[in-house]
Structure 1
Amino acid sequence: MRLVVRSLVSLAAIASLASGLPARAQSGSSVPAPERVTTQSNLNYDSVMRIMAEGDAAVAAQKFPVALDKYDLARKSFGALVQFHQGLAGSFSGIDVKIANDQRQRAAQAAQGRDQAGYKLALLYRRLNQPEVAIPLLVQVVQSQNPTTDLGKQAYAQLYELGFTSLPYPRSVDGTQPAPQQSPAPQTPPAQQPPAR
Structure 2
Amino acid sequence: MERTQEPGRSFVRGVATGAGLSLLAAGLLLYLLAALGIIRLDLLQTPQLDQLYRWLMNNLGLSVLPFGVTLLLYLHSLGRLSRSLESDRPCDEVVQLAQLTDVWISLFIGIGVIWTAIGMRSALLHALGDTGAAIQGGAFGVLQRLVDGGILTALSTTILGGAGGYLMRLLKSLRVGGRLNRYQALREADGRRRIEQLLVEIRDAASAAPGRRLR
Q: Which has the higher helix share?
A: 2
TM-score, with structure 2 as normaliser: 0.35
TM-score, with structure 1 as normaliser: 0.38
Higher relative contact order (CA 8 A, sep 6+): 2
